[in-house]
Chain A
Amino acid sequence: MTGNLYLDLLISLGGIGFVVGLAALLGAGEPILVTEENARDRVAFDEPDFIADNWFVDTRGKGALGIGKGIGGEAAEAVVVFRLGDRLATRRFDATNHSILPISGGLRVVLGDVSKGHVDLFLPSRDLVEALFDGLKRKTR
Protein backbone atom coordinates (compact mmCIF):
# COMPACT_ATOMS: atom_id res chain seq x y z
CA MET A 1 0.00 0.00 0.00
CA THR A 2 2.54 2.59 1.14
CA GLY A 3 5.67 0.66 0.22
CA ASN A 4 6.69 0.53 3.88
CA LEU A 5 5.96 -2.93 5.29
CA TYR A 6 5.69 -1.79 8.91
CA LEU A 7 3.36 1.07 8.04
CA ASP A 8 1.26 -1.28 5.91
CA LEU A 9 1.05 -3.69 8.83
CA LEU A 10 0.02 -0.89 11.18
CA ILE A 11 -2.69 0.29 8.78
CA SER A 12 -3.95 -3.28 8.31
CA LEU A 13 -4.09 -3.93 12.04
CA GLY A 14 -5.91 -0.62 12.45
CA GLY A 15 -8.46 -1.75 9.85
CA ILE A 16 -8.95 -5.07 11.62
CA GLY A 17 -9.33 -3.27 14.96
CA PHE A 18 -11.91 -0.94 13.43
CA VAL A 19 -14.05 -3.74 11.95
CA VAL A 20 -13.86 -6.00 15.00
CA GLY A 21 -14.48 -3.07 17.34
CA LEU A 22 -17.50 -2.04 15.33
CA ALA A 23 -18.80 -5.62 15.30
CA ALA A 24 -18.38 -5.89 19.08
CA LEU A 25 -19.98 -2.47 19.56
CA LEU A 26 -22.99 -3.57 17.55
CA GLY A 27 -23.37 -6.63 19.75
CA ALA A 28 -21.85 -9.33 17.60
CA GLY A 29 -20.27 -11.23 20.43
CA GLU A 30 -22.99 -12.90 22.44
CA PRO A 31 -22.08 -16.53 23.22
CA ILE A 32 -24.74 -19.16 22.83
CA LEU A 33 -25.90 -21.25 25.79
CA VAL A 34 -25.96 -24.96 25.09
CA THR A 35 -29.30 -26.54 25.95
CA GLU A 36 -30.60 -30.03 25.33
CA GLU A 37 -32.85 -28.63 22.62
CA ASN A 38 -30.18 -26.87 20.58
CA ALA A 39 -27.73 -29.72 21.18
CA ARG A 40 -30.28 -32.17 19.76
CA ASP A 41 -30.87 -29.91 16.79
CA ARG A 42 -27.15 -29.64 16.05
CA VAL A 43 -26.62 -33.39 16.39
CA ALA A 44 -29.60 -34.09 14.14
CA PHE A 45 -27.81 -32.03 11.49
CA ASP A 46 -24.21 -33.17 12.04
CA GLU A 47 -24.89 -36.80 12.95
CA PRO A 48 -28.37 -37.62 11.66
CA ASP A 49 -28.02 -41.35 12.37
CA PHE A 50 -27.10 -40.80 16.00
CA ILE A 51 -29.94 -41.20 18.48
CA ALA A 52 -29.21 -40.10 22.02
CA ASP A 53 -30.67 -42.03 24.91
CA ASN A 54 -29.59 -39.56 27.59
CA TRP A 55 -28.39 -36.01 27.60
CA PHE A 56 -26.09 -34.46 30.20
CA VAL A 57 -26.03 -30.69 29.89
CA ASP A 58 -23.34 -28.53 31.43
CA THR A 59 -24.73 -26.25 34.13
CA ARG A 60 -22.83 -23.29 32.63
CA GLY A 61 -24.31 -23.91 29.19
CA LYS A 62 -20.93 -24.61 27.62
CA GLY A 63 -21.62 -28.08 26.34
CA ALA A 64 -23.70 -31.23 26.42
CA LEU A 65 -23.02 -34.92 26.21
CA GLY A 66 -25.39 -37.29 24.46
CA ILE A 67 -25.03 -41.00 25.10
CA GLY A 68 -26.14 -43.19 22.23
CA LYS A 69 -28.91 -45.70 22.21
CA GLY A 70 -26.33 -48.41 22.23
CA ILE A 71 -25.36 -47.79 25.85
CA GLY A 72 -27.36 -50.81 26.98
CA GLY A 73 -26.47 -52.80 23.90
CA GLU A 74 -23.34 -53.47 22.00
CA ALA A 75 -22.02 -50.03 21.23
CA ALA A 76 -21.46 -47.07 23.47
CA GLU A 77 -21.25 -44.16 21.15
CA ALA A 78 -21.50 -40.66 22.41
CA VAL A 79 -21.61 -37.20 21.00
CA VAL A 80 -20.42 -34.05 22.68
CA VAL A 81 -21.74 -30.66 21.70
CA PHE A 82 -19.76 -27.56 22.59
CA ARG A 83 -20.01 -23.93 21.78
CA LEU A 84 -17.75 -21.69 19.78
CA GLY A 85 -18.93 -18.13 20.11
CA ASP A 86 -22.54 -18.08 19.00
CA ARG A 87 -22.37 -21.43 17.22
CA LEU A 88 -22.22 -25.09 18.20
CA ALA A 89 -19.90 -27.85 17.11
CA THR A 90 -20.04 -31.60 17.67
CA ARG A 91 -17.71 -34.54 18.01
CA ARG A 92 -18.91 -38.13 17.85
CA PHE A 93 -16.77 -40.66 19.62
CA ASP A 94 -16.56 -44.06 21.19
CA ALA A 95 -17.51 -43.71 24.85
CA THR A 96 -15.92 -47.00 25.77
CA ASN A 97 -12.35 -45.99 25.07
CA HIS A 98 -11.83 -44.15 28.35
CA SER A 99 -12.56 -40.85 26.68
CA ILE A 100 -14.85 -39.71 29.49
CA LEU A 101 -13.11 -39.04 32.77
CA PRO A 102 -14.49 -37.89 36.11
CA ILE A 103 -13.53 -34.45 37.38
CA SER A 104 -14.74 -32.59 40.43
CA GLY A 105 -18.40 -31.78 39.89
CA GLY A 106 -18.64 -33.30 36.47
CA LEU A 107 -16.76 -35.00 33.72
CA ARG A 108 -14.15 -34.37 31.08
CA VAL A 109 -14.59 -35.56 27.53
CA VAL A 110 -11.13 -36.07 26.05
CA LEU A 111 -11.23 -35.58 22.29
CA GLY A 112 -7.55 -35.28 21.37
CA ASP A 113 -8.66 -33.10 18.48
CA VAL A 114 -6.26 -30.48 17.12
CA SER A 115 -8.78 -27.68 17.56
CA LYS A 116 -10.52 -29.01 20.68
CA GLY A 117 -8.55 -31.09 23.14
CA HIS A 118 -11.30 -31.68 25.69
CA VAL A 119 -14.69 -30.49 26.86
CA ASP A 120 -15.47 -30.15 30.58
CA LEU A 121 -19.06 -30.57 31.62
CA PHE A 122 -20.33 -29.71 35.11
CA LEU A 123 -23.50 -31.50 36.04
CA PRO A 124 -26.18 -30.38 38.51
CA SER A 125 -25.79 -33.32 40.88
CA ARG A 126 -23.24 -35.88 41.89
CA ASP A 127 -25.87 -38.58 41.44
CA LEU A 128 -26.12 -37.70 37.76
CA VAL A 129 -22.37 -38.06 37.30
CA GLU A 130 -22.40 -41.40 39.12
CA ALA A 131 -25.34 -42.61 37.08
CA LEU A 132 -23.49 -41.74 33.89
CA PHE A 133 -20.32 -43.54 34.93
CA ASP A 134 -22.27 -46.53 36.20
CA GLY A 135 -23.91 -46.79 32.84
CA LEU A 136 -20.59 -46.56 31.06
CA LYS A 137 -19.02 -49.18 33.36
CA ARG A 138 -21.85 -51.57 32.65
CA LYS A 139 -21.31 -51.00 29.01
CA THR A 140 -17.54 -51.40 28.99
CA ARG A 141 -17.46 -54.39 31.29
Chain B
Amino acid sequence: MDEMVFPDIVTAAIPVFVGLITLELMAWRAKGVGDYEARDSAASLIMGLGSQIAPLLGGTAIVTAVFFAVYEVRLTTIPNTWWAVILCFVVDDFRYYWWHRVSHERRWFWASHVIHHSSQHYNLTTALRQTWTGGILGSILFKAPLVFLGFHPMMLVFVSGLNLVYQFWIHTETIDRMGPFEWVFNTPSHHRVHHATNPRYLDANYAGTLIIWDRMFGTFVREDETEKPRYGIVKNLGTFNPLIISFHEWIGIFRDVAGSKSWREAVGYMVGPPGWSPDGSRMTSKAIKARWERVRSQNLDQGLNERLDTLSPVGAEPSVGRAPAE
Protein backbone atom coordinates (compact mmCIF):
# COMPACT_ATOMS: atom_id res chain seq x y z
CA MET B 1 0.00 0.00 0.00
CA ASP B 2 1.17 3.53 -0.74
CA GLU B 3 1.88 6.07 1.97
CA MET B 4 -1.67 7.41 2.23
CA VAL B 5 -3.19 6.93 5.70
CA PHE B 6 -6.94 6.62 6.09
CA PRO B 7 -8.31 7.79 9.45
CA ASP B 8 -11.25 6.21 11.28
CA ILE B 9 -13.62 8.97 10.25
CA VAL B 10 -16.72 7.59 12.00
CA THR B 11 -15.10 7.40 15.43
CA ALA B 12 -13.54 10.83 14.94
CA ALA B 13 -16.98 12.28 14.16
CA ILE B 14 -18.70 11.01 17.33
CA PRO B 15 -18.04 14.19 19.38
CA VAL B 16 -19.47 16.21 16.48
CA PHE B 17 -22.55 13.95 16.47
CA VAL B 18 -23.11 14.59 20.18
CA GLY B 19 -22.65 18.35 19.68
CA LEU B 20 -25.11 18.50 16.79
CA ILE B 21 -27.69 16.40 18.65
CA THR B 22 -27.42 18.85 21.55
CA LEU B 23 -27.97 21.77 19.16
CA GLU B 24 -30.95 20.06 17.55
CA LEU B 25 -32.45 19.39 20.98
CA MET B 26 -32.06 23.06 21.84
CA ALA B 27 -33.71 24.04 18.55
CA TRP B 28 -36.55 21.61 19.23
CA ARG B 29 -37.09 23.12 22.64
CA ALA B 30 -36.72 26.75 21.59
CA LYS B 31 -38.53 26.80 18.26
CA GLY B 32 -40.69 23.70 18.35
CA VAL B 33 -39.05 22.32 15.23
CA GLY B 34 -37.73 18.79 15.34
CA ASP B 35 -39.03 15.75 17.02
CA TYR B 36 -37.78 14.10 20.23
CA GLU B 37 -38.82 11.44 22.72
CA ALA B 38 -36.33 10.52 25.41
CA ARG B 39 -36.83 6.74 25.39
CA ASP B 40 -36.85 6.65 21.62
CA SER B 41 -33.56 8.53 21.57
CA ALA B 42 -32.13 6.21 24.22
CA ALA B 43 -33.07 3.20 22.09
CA SER B 44 -31.51 4.78 19.00
CA LEU B 45 -28.26 5.60 20.77
CA ILE B 46 -27.99 2.14 22.32
CA MET B 47 -28.54 0.66 18.88
CA GLY B 48 -25.77 2.91 17.61
CA LEU B 49 -23.39 1.81 20.34
CA GLY B 50 -24.28 -1.83 19.71
CA SER B 51 -23.60 -1.42 16.01
CA GLN B 52 -20.05 -0.39 16.85
CA ILE B 53 -19.53 -3.32 19.21
CA ALA B 54 -21.24 -6.11 17.24
CA PRO B 55 -18.64 -6.28 14.43
CA LEU B 56 -15.93 -6.88 17.03
CA LEU B 57 -17.53 -10.27 17.70
CA GLY B 58 -16.11 -11.57 14.45
CA GLY B 59 -17.66 -9.67 11.58
CA THR B 60 -14.79 -7.24 11.16
CA ALA B 61 -12.25 -10.05 11.11
CA ILE B 62 -14.19 -12.06 8.51
CA VAL B 63 -14.85 -9.08 6.24
CA THR B 64 -11.24 -7.89 6.51
CA ALA B 65 -9.95 -11.34 5.64
CA VAL B 66 -12.27 -11.58 2.61
CA PHE B 67 -11.38 -8.08 1.41
CA PHE B 68 -7.64 -8.71 1.56
CA ALA B 69 -8.04 -12.11 -0.08
CA VAL B 70 -10.05 -10.52 -2.92
CA TYR B 71 -7.47 -7.71 -3.18
CA GLU B 72 -4.84 -10.33 -3.88
CA VAL B 73 -6.67 -11.33 -7.07
CA ARG B 74 -7.77 -7.81 -8.11
CA LEU B 75 -8.26 -6.89 -11.74
CA THR B 76 -6.00 -3.88 -11.55
CA THR B 77 -4.28 -1.70 -8.96
CA ILE B 78 -5.81 1.68 -8.37
CA PRO B 79 -3.20 3.86 -6.65
CA ASN B 80 -3.86 5.52 -3.32
CA THR B 81 -4.13 9.07 -4.58
CA TRP B 82 -6.60 11.89 -3.96
CA TRP B 83 -8.34 11.36 -7.32
CA ALA B 84 -8.69 7.67 -6.56
CA VAL B 85 -10.32 8.56 -3.23
CA ILE B 86 -12.87 10.75 -5.04
CA LEU B 87 -13.48 8.05 -7.63
CA CYS B 88 -13.82 5.43 -4.92
CA PHE B 89 -16.29 7.67 -3.04
CA VAL B 90 -18.52 8.03 -6.12
CA VAL B 91 -18.33 4.34 -7.01
CA ASP B 92 -19.00 3.40 -3.39
CA ASP B 93 -21.97 5.77 -3.29
CA PHE B 94 -23.36 3.95 -6.34
CA ARG B 95 -22.74 0.70 -4.49
CA TYR B 96 -24.54 2.15 -1.48
CA TYR B 97 -27.61 3.02 -3.58
CA TRP B 98 -28.02 -0.58 -4.73
CA TRP B 99 -27.24 -2.10 -1.37
CA HIS B 100 -29.79 0.24 0.22
CA ARG B 101 -32.40 -0.53 -2.43
CA VAL B 102 -31.96 -4.28 -2.00
CA SER B 103 -32.14 -3.77 1.76
CA HIS B 104 -35.66 -2.42 1.28
CA GLU B 105 -36.77 -4.85 -1.39
CA ARG B 106 -35.54 -8.18 0.00
CA ARG B 107 -36.59 -9.34 3.44
CA TRP B 108 -33.28 -10.99 4.35
CA PHE B 109 -31.51 -7.64 4.06
CA TRP B 110 -34.52 -5.72 5.38
CA ALA B 111 -34.28 -7.74 8.62
CA SER B 112 -31.07 -5.83 9.36
CA HIS B 113 -31.98 -2.50 7.83
CA VAL B 114 -35.46 -2.24 9.38
CA ILE B 115 -33.76 -1.23 12.62
CA HIS B 116 -32.75 2.10 11.13
CA HIS B 117 -36.37 2.79 10.15
CA SER B 118 -38.02 1.52 13.30
CA SER B 119 -38.31 4.88 15.06
CA GLN B 120 -41.41 6.96 14.55
CA HIS B 121 -39.24 10.01 15.17
CA TYR B 122 -36.92 11.68 12.75
CA ASN B 123 -33.99 13.42 14.34
CA LEU B 124 -30.24 13.14 14.55
CA THR B 125 -30.41 10.26 17.03
CA THR B 126 -32.37 8.30 14.41
CA ALA B 127 -29.26 8.48 12.22
CA LEU B 128 -27.42 6.47 14.86
CA ARG B 129 -30.11 3.79 15.13
CA GLN B 130 -28.07 1.21 13.25
CA THR B 131 -28.20 -2.53 12.87
CA TRP B 132 -26.25 -5.08 14.86
CA THR B 133 -26.55 -7.68 12.13
CA GLY B 134 -26.07 -8.00 8.40
CA GLY B 135 -22.61 -6.50 8.13
CA ILE B 136 -20.85 -9.59 6.89
CA LEU B 137 -23.07 -10.59 3.97
CA GLY B 138 -23.81 -7.00 2.97
CA SER B 139 -20.13 -6.08 2.90
CA ILE B 140 -19.00 -9.17 1.07
CA LEU B 141 -21.72 -9.07 -1.58
CA PHE B 142 -21.68 -5.37 -2.27
CA LYS B 143 -18.25 -4.03 -1.29
CA ALA B 144 -15.93 -6.87 -2.24
CA PRO B 145 -16.53 -6.27 -5.98
CA LEU B 146 -15.02 -2.80 -5.53
CA VAL B 147 -11.95 -4.35 -3.95
CA PHE B 148 -11.84 -6.76 -6.88
CA LEU B 149 -11.82 -3.77 -9.22
CA GLY B 150 -8.65 -2.58 -7.49
CA PHE B 151 -9.60 -0.14 -4.75
CA HIS B 152 -7.58 -0.76 -1.61
CA PRO B 153 -9.74 -2.16 1.23
CA MET B 154 -8.67 0.62 3.59
CA MET B 155 -9.66 3.25 1.06
CA LEU B 156 -13.04 1.59 0.72
CA VAL B 157 -13.54 1.51 4.49
CA PHE B 158 -12.60 5.19 4.62
CA VAL B 159 -15.03 6.35 1.90
CA SER B 160 -17.82 4.19 3.31
CA GLY B 161 -17.25 5.88 6.66
CA LEU B 162 -17.31 9.27 4.96
CA ASN B 163 -20.63 8.38 3.35
CA LEU B 164 -22.03 7.34 6.72
CA VAL B 165 -20.86 10.57 8.33
CA TYR B 166 -22.42 12.59 5.49
CA GLN B 167 -25.74 10.88 6.11
CA PHE B 168 -25.81 11.87 9.76
CA TRP B 169 -26.85 15.51 9.29
CA ILE B 170 -29.69 14.74 6.86
CA HIS B 171 -31.71 13.05 9.61
CA THR B 172 -33.39 16.21 10.78
CA GLU B 173 -36.58 18.21 10.45
CA THR B 174 -34.86 21.43 11.45
CA ILE B 175 -33.50 22.02 7.92
CA ASP B 176 -36.03 22.76 5.21
CA ARG B 177 -35.46 22.74 1.44
CA MET B 178 -31.97 23.54 0.15
CA GLY B 179 -32.39 24.88 -3.37
CA PRO B 180 -30.03 23.74 -6.15
CA PHE B 181 -27.97 21.70 -3.68
CA GLU B 182 -30.87 19.21 -3.77
CA TRP B 183 -30.40 18.57 -7.47
CA VAL B 184 -27.24 16.58 -6.87
CA PHE B 185 -26.94 15.84 -3.16
CA ASN B 186 -29.06 13.93 -0.70
CA THR B 187 -30.60 16.40 1.75
CA PRO B 188 -32.82 16.36 4.85
CA SER B 189 -35.88 16.88 2.64
CA HIS B 190 -35.01 13.96 0.34
CA HIS B 191 -34.23 11.70 3.26
CA ARG B 192 -37.40 12.61 5.17
CA VAL B 193 -39.23 11.14 2.19
CA HIS B 194 -37.14 7.99 2.47
CA HIS B 195 -38.05 7.54 6.16
CA ALA B 196 -41.75 8.29 5.63
CA THR B 197 -44.43 5.61 5.60
CA ASN B 198 -46.94 7.67 3.64
CA PRO B 199 -47.79 5.39 0.70
CA ARG B 200 -46.79 8.03 -1.84
CA TYR B 201 -43.31 8.13 -0.27
CA LEU B 202 -42.66 4.37 0.05
CA ASP B 203 -39.66 2.85 -1.74
CA ALA B 204 -38.04 6.15 -2.61
CA ASN B 205 -34.79 8.09 -2.25
CA TYR B 206 -32.29 5.34 -1.48
CA ALA B 207 -29.31 7.64 -2.02
CA GLY B 208 -26.40 7.91 0.37
CA THR B 209 -24.67 11.15 -0.61
CA LEU B 210 -25.62 11.71 -4.26
CA ILE B 211 -29.33 11.83 -5.07
CA ILE B 212 -28.50 11.47 -8.76
CA TRP B 213 -28.78 7.67 -8.50
CA ASP B 214 -32.45 7.94 -7.54
CA ARG B 215 -33.07 10.37 -10.34
CA MET B 216 -31.32 8.01 -12.77
CA PHE B 217 -33.08 4.83 -11.68
CA GLY B 218 -36.57 6.23 -11.18
CA THR B 219 -36.84 6.07 -7.41
CA PHE B 220 -36.71 9.79 -6.71
CA VAL B 221 -39.72 11.33 -4.96
CA ARG B 222 -39.88 14.99 -3.98
CA GLU B 223 -41.15 15.98 -0.54
CA ASP B 224 -44.67 17.32 -0.96
CA GLU B 225 -45.30 20.37 1.20
CA THR B 226 -48.97 19.40 1.49
CA GLU B 227 -48.21 15.96 2.89
CA LYS B 228 -46.06 15.86 5.98
CA PRO B 229 -44.10 12.64 6.32
CA ARG B 230 -45.11 10.18 9.03
CA TYR B 231 -42.06 8.22 10.04
CA GLY B 232 -41.46 4.65 11.07
CA ILE B 233 -42.38 1.38 9.42
CA VAL B 234 -45.73 0.30 8.02
CA LYS B 235 -46.30 -1.88 11.09
CA ASN B 236 -44.73 0.15 13.85
CA LEU B 237 -43.03 -1.53 16.76
CA GLY B 238 -44.57 -1.65 20.21
CA THR B 239 -41.39 -1.45 22.23
CA PHE B 240 -38.23 0.52 22.95
CA ASN B 241 -36.36 -2.67 23.93
CA PRO B 242 -33.11 -2.70 21.89
CA LEU B 243 -32.98 -6.50 21.76
CA ILE B 244 -36.45 -6.73 20.26
CA ILE B 245 -35.75 -3.80 17.95
CA SER B 246 -32.63 -5.59 16.77
CA PHE B 247 -34.02 -9.05 16.24
CA HIS B 248 -37.78 -8.73 15.70
CA GLU B 249 -37.66 -9.22 11.93
CA TRP B 250 -35.22 -12.11 12.22
CA ILE B 251 -37.63 -13.78 14.67
CA GLY B 252 -40.43 -13.09 12.19
CA ILE B 253 -38.46 -14.76 9.39
CA PHE B 254 -37.66 -17.73 11.61
CA ARG B 255 -41.32 -18.19 12.57
CA ASP B 256 -42.47 -17.91 8.97
CA VAL B 257 -39.86 -20.30 7.63
CA ALA B 258 -40.57 -22.79 10.42
CA GLY B 259 -44.26 -22.72 9.51
CA SER B 260 -43.70 -22.98 5.78
CA LYS B 261 -45.44 -25.77 3.89
CA SER B 262 -42.88 -25.96 1.10
CA TRP B 263 -39.39 -24.90 0.11
CA ARG B 264 -40.87 -22.30 -2.20
CA GLU B 265 -42.71 -20.69 0.69
CA ALA B 266 -39.62 -20.77 2.89
CA VAL B 267 -37.50 -19.11 0.23
CA GLY B 268 -40.25 -16.58 -0.43
CA TYR B 269 -40.36 -15.62 3.23
CA MET B 270 -36.60 -15.14 3.27
CA VAL B 271 -35.86 -13.34 0.03
CA GLY B 272 -39.24 -12.09 -1.13
CA PRO B 273 -40.16 -8.46 -0.59
CA PRO B 274 -40.96 -7.51 3.03
CA GLY B 275 -44.64 -8.30 3.60
CA TRP B 276 -44.67 -11.16 1.10
CA SER B 277 -46.84 -14.14 1.96
CA PRO B 278 -47.83 -17.14 -0.20
CA ASP B 279 -51.55 -16.31 -0.04
CA GLY B 280 -51.11 -12.57 -0.37
CA SER B 281 -52.74 -11.99 3.01
CA ARG B 282 -49.97 -9.63 4.11
CA MET B 283 -49.06 -6.39 2.48
CA THR B 284 -45.94 -5.53 0.55
CA SER B 285 -45.22 -1.88 -0.11
CA LYS B 286 -46.63 -2.31 -3.62
CA ALA B 287 -49.89 -3.61 -2.17
CA ILE B 288 -49.98 -0.72 0.32
CA LYS B 289 -49.55 1.75 -2.51
CA ALA B 290 -52.27 0.03 -4.55
CA ARG B 291 -54.65 0.13 -1.57
CA TRP B 292 -53.89 3.80 -1.04
CA GLU B 293 -54.63 4.56 -4.70
CA ARG B 294 -57.87 2.58 -4.50
CA VAL B 295 -59.08 4.30 -1.32
CA ARG B 296 -58.02 7.68 -2.63
CA SER B 297 -59.93 7.26 -5.88
CA GLN B 298 -62.98 6.01 -3.94
CA ASN B 299 -62.80 9.06 -1.69
CA LEU B 300 -62.41 11.31 -4.71
CA ASP B 301 -65.42 9.69 -6.38
CA GLN B 302 -67.42 9.99 -3.18
CA GLY B 303 -66.37 13.61 -2.75
CA LEU B 304 -67.27 14.35 -6.35
CA ASN B 305 -70.65 12.67 -6.00
CA GLU B 306 -71.37 14.57 -2.81
CA ARG B 307 -70.38 17.79 -4.52
CA LEU B 308 -72.64 16.95 -7.50
CA ASP B 309 -75.46 16.11 -5.12
CA THR B 310 -75.06 19.51 -3.49
CA LEU B 311 -75.06 21.28 -6.83
CA SER B 312 -77.87 19.26 -8.28
CA PRO B 313 -80.10 17.60 -5.66
CA VAL B 314 -81.91 14.42 -6.64
CA GLY B 315 -85.15 15.26 -8.41
CA ALA B 316 -84.15 18.78 -9.31
CA GLU B 317 -83.76 19.58 -12.93
CA PRO B 318 -80.46 21.00 -14.05
CA SER B 319 -80.65 24.72 -14.62
CA VAL B 320 -77.78 24.85 -17.05
CA GLY B 321 -78.81 26.27 -20.40
CA ARG B 322 -82.16 27.47 -19.19
CA ALA B 323 -83.41 30.94 -18.96
CA PRO B 324 -83.77 32.13 -15.38
CA ALA B 325 -87.28 31.86 -14.05
CA GLU B 326 -89.04 35.11 -13.61
B300 at the interface (CB under 8 A from A): no
B324 at the interface (CB under 8 A from A): no
Whether A12 and B49, one on each chain, are in contact in the complex, defined by CB atoms closer than 8 angstroms, is: yes
With a CB–CB cut-off of 8 A, which chain B residues contact A12?
14, 49, 52
With a CB–CB cut-off of 8 A, which chain B residues contact A16?
42, 45-46, 49
User: Which B201-251 residues have a C-beta within 8 angstroms of A?
Assistant: 230, 232, 234-241, 244-245, 248, 251
Contact A84:B42 (CB < 8 A) given known A1-B14, A12-B49, A26-B25: no
With a CB–CB cut-off of 8 A, which chain A residues contact B37?
23, 28-29, 85-87
With a CB–CB cut-off of 8 A, which chain B residues contact A24?
38
Pick out which of these stretches binds chain B: A44-52, A99-107, A122-130: A44-52
B11 at the interface (CB under 8 A from A): yes
Question: What residue in chain A is nearest B121 (Cβ atoms)?
Answer: A87
With a CB–CB cut-off of 8 A, which chain A residues contact B236?
84, 87, 89-90
Whether A26 and B36, one on each chain, are in contact in the complex, defined by CB atoms closer than 8 angstroms, is: yes
Question: What residue in chain A is nearest B52 (Cβ atoms)?
Answer: A12
8 Å CB contact of A85 from B40, B56, B245? B40
For the residues of A in contact with B, the DSSP-based class is mixed
Whether B239 and A116, one on each chain, are in contact in the complex, defined by CB atoms closer than 8 angstroms, is: yes
8 Å CB contact of B38 from A18, A29, A84? A29
Range, interface on chain A: 20 to 34
With a CB–CB cut-off of 8 A, which chain B residues contact A29?
37-39
With a CB–CB cut-off of 8 A, which chain A residues contact B79?
none
A75 at the interface (CB under 8 A from B): no
Whether B237 and A19, one on each chain, are in contact in the complex, defined by CB atoms closer than 8 angstroms, is: no
Question: What residue in chain B is nearest A19 (Cβ atoms)?
Answer: B21
- Shortest Cβ gap from B35 to chain A (Å): 9
A37 at the interface (CB under 8 A from B): no
Question: What residue in chain A is nearest B199 (Cβ atoms)?
Answer: A48
With a CB–CB cut-off of 8 A, which chain B residues contact A28?
25, 28, 36-38, 41
Whether A20 and B41, one on each chain, are in contact in the complex, defined by CB atoms closer than 8 angstroms, is: yes
CA of A46 to CA of B202, assembled, Å: 13
Q: Which of A89, A91, A114 has the most CB of B within 10 A?
A: A114
Pick out which of these stretches binds chain A: B67-75, B80-88, B287-295, B304-312: B287-295
- Shortest Cβ gap from A117 to chain B (Å): 8
CA of A82 to CA of B235, assembled, Å: 12
Contact with A along B250-283 (1 / 0, CB 8 A): 0110000000000000000000000000000000
Question: What residue in chain A is nearest B53 (Cβ atoms)?
Answer: A9
CA of A84 to CA of B120, assembled, Å: 9
Question: What residue in chain A is nearest B230 (Cβ atoms)?
Answer: A45
With a CB–CB cut-off of 8 A, which chain B residues contact A9?
49, 53
Question: What residue in chain B is nearest A49 (Cβ atoms)?
Answer: B295
CA of A84 to CA of B258, assembled, Å: 30
With a CB–CB cut-off of 8 A, which chain A residues contact B53?
9
A7 at the interface (CB under 8 A from B): no
With a CB–CB cut-off of 8 A, which chain B residues contact A26?
25-26, 28-29, 36
B184 at the interface (CB under 8 A from A): no
Contact A48:B295 (CB < 8 A) given known A20-B45, A84-B240, A89-B237: yes
Contact A115:B244 (CB < 8 A) given known A19-B41, A86-B37, A89-B237: yes
Contact with B along A1-44 (1 / 0, CB 8 A): 10001000100110110111011101111000000000000000
Whether B38 and A82, one on each chain, are in contact in the complex, defined by CB atoms closer than 8 angstroms, is: no
Whether B291 and A49, one on each chain, are in contact in the complex, defined by CB atoms closer than 8 angstroms, is: yes
Q: List 21 A-B contacts (CB under 8 A).
A: A1-B11, A1-B14, A9-B53, A12-B14, A15-B45, A16-B45, A16-B46, A18-B18, A23-B36, A23-B41, A26-B26, A27-B29, A28-B41, A48-B292, A48-B295, A49-B291, A49-B294, A84-B237, A87-B121, A89-B236, A115-B245
List 4 A-B pairs, minimum CB-CB distance, nearest first. Answer: A116-B238, A28-B36, A89-B236, A29-B38
Residues of A within 8 A of B (CB): 1, 5, 9, 12-13, 15-16, 18-20, 22-24, 26-29, 45-46, 48-49, 82, 84-87, 89-91, 113-116
